[in-house]
Amino acid sequence: MDRKHLSLSLFWRTFFLLSLLLTGGVIAWVQTLRQLEFEPRAVVAAQQIASLVNLSRGAMKNVDGITRIALMKSMTDQEAVRVLPREPTDRWDPYEVDAFTRRIAAELRVRLGEGTVVARSVNGQDALWVGFTIDDDRYWLQAESARVTPLTSSTWFVWVGIAILATIIGSATIAGLINRPLKDLSTATARIREGEYDIRLDERVGTPEVRAVNIGFNRMARDLAKVEQDRTVMLAGISHDLRTPLARIRLEAEISVPDEEARSHIAEDIDQLDAIIDKFMDYARPGVTRLEPVPLAAVVEREALAFRDASQIRIAIQLSPVSRVLGDPIELGRVFANLFENARRYGRPSDTVPAEVQVGQLQAGPWIIVTVRDRGPGVPVEKLAQLTTPFFRGDTARTSATGAGLGLAVVKKSIQRMGGSLEMTNAPEGGLVAHVRLRRVEAT
């Protein structure tokens, strides 16, 4: 696949880079917070459990056995803790299973003494169990495990999810703000390319760099508009000034030249000069084009009627009568007129044999590709790309040329104005093929 098609737009590159940066920051922040939260939470949890043990021990130490049993029952009924006698046959599992529980167990032993037992289950009952002694009697204090658990994974997941969602929204907003001036500039440039020179960018934006670019662009647009206006006036003047003396020469030749053959040659030269002027005018015509649905076959057949001389060219048209394309009827007619004229001049196998031209079509998705093929000598492969260059003529490969070298350049420019494309190739059986790609319009 073409690398150009794989590249991301500036907005998405900015968005992904910002998202990556901010997401990395969120993850680093979460990891830092977990590390900072680990030690205080373990110490506070151990302090709370140690306080419960000390309170229970203090309350039970100076009472007799019967009162101690009543006190143990009262604590069980009123608090979320239980104090139970610790039997020699009790089976218990150590509390330490990870870094957090090891830190709590160590803190409890520091606060309650080295003989303190910390268990996570006693006789198969899971809880936080702390073994302590009162005189020579041993007891268990049972507390809920929720008192000393760290933040759960689901809690962290919710926090991180909210942070990443905020990161994505913030990245999209920031990327949009950063790229908005470039998007406006891209849109304005596209309109300038289409010949709309009245476009203007905002010169009051707060960013100095963007404001300088917008001011420069607006100045360029005004200069281009003036150049385009001067060019239009100049071309109109040149066309008028050249055709006026040509008309006088034609009239003078008709009146003053008695030799019919010489008069015919003068008329042919005048027609050639007139055609060259038309080519220059077509190529220099402004780029604004009004697009509308155009019946393809009708336009091609209309232009083919102008080439009636069967000794020069024969055109066979095989187009669907219902096919319609998006284009300008005048521009589209000019395209096929130039292609037929190019085939008439350069697509003849010899001076005595007429050019055979075949016009066909095929559909490729939203496009209609019109093929215009002659059966002439073709063009060397290395020169195919130059055929649409202004003033280039492949005379060494084709028959002698008398044009201005602008015909195919006009065709390419006109097709581009209509949103299509032109490709020139050699046919395998010989001859040159023009592939005209135009946007298809659905039949209604």
Q: What is the band of 438 on the pLDDT scale with cuts at 50, 70, 90? A: very high
Q: Which of 246, 249, 177, 189 has the alpha carbon at shortest distance from 213?
A: 189
- C-alpha 362/C-alpha 437 separation (Å) is 10
Per cent of the chain over pLDDT 90 is 7
- Identity of residue 26: V
Instruction: Tell me what the mean pLDDT of segment 88-94 comes to.
Output: 87
Q: Which of 317, 308, 321, 326 has the alpha carbon at shortest distance from 417?
A: 326
CATH H superfamily, domain 292-441: Histidine kinase-like ATPase, C-terminal domain (3.30.565.10)
Of 58-62, 307-311, 336-340, which range is least confident? 58-62
DSSP state for residue 282 in the 8-state scheme = H
Domain ranges, ordered by start, for the chain: 8-153, 208-284, 292-441
> Is the pLDDT score of 3 beyond 60?
no
- Residue 190: CB atoms within 10 A of its CB come to 11
Whether 375 contacts 334, CB under 8 Å: no
Q: What is the band of 6 on the pLDDT scale with cuts at 50, 70, 90? A: very low
Q: Considering only residues 2 and 111, tell me which one the structure prediction assigns the higher pLDDT.
A: 111
Q: What angle do CA 72, 78, 79 make, to 5 degrees?
A: 85
pLDDT digits (tens, 9 = 90+) for 158-177: 777 777 777 778 777 777 77
Q: What is the token pair recorded at 16?
A: 């992904």
Q: How far is CA 415 from CA 283, 300, 435, in A?
A: 12, 14, 11
Q: How far is CA 126 from CA 14, 100, 143, 152, 423, in A?
A: 52, 17, 10, 18, 80
* Protein fold of 8-153: Beta-Lactamase (3.30.450)
- C-alpha 128/C-alpha 143 separation (Å) is 5
> Is CATH 3.30.410 the right assignment for the domain spanning 208-284?
no
Between strands 117-122 and 92-94, the pairing is antiparallel
Which among 10-14, 258-262, 280-284, 427-431 has the top mean pLDDT?
427-431
> Is the pLDDT score of 105 beyond 80?
yes
Judge residue 339's burial from the number of C-beta atoms within 10 Å of its C-beta, 0-12 exposed, 13-18 middle, 19 or more buried: buried
Per cent of the chain over pLDDT 70 is 78
Number of H helices, E strands in the chain: 10, 12
Which among 314-328, 382-396, 402-416 has the top mean pLDDT?
314-328
Q: Considering only residues 64 and 423, tell me which one the structure prediction assigns the higher pLDDT.
A: 423
- C-alpha 109/C-alpha 139 separation (Å) is 15
> Is the pLDDT score of 286 beyond 60?
no
Query: pTM above 0.75?
Result: no
- C-alpha 321/C-alpha 160 separation (Å) is 63
- C-alpha 413/C-alpha 328 separation (Å) is 13
pLDDT digits (tens, 9 = 90+) for 340-391: 988 888 888 887 888 899 999 998 889 999 999 998 888 888 888 778 776 6
| The domains spanning 8-153 and 208-284 adopt the same CATH topology | no
- C-alpha 415/C-alpha 389 separation (Å) is 14
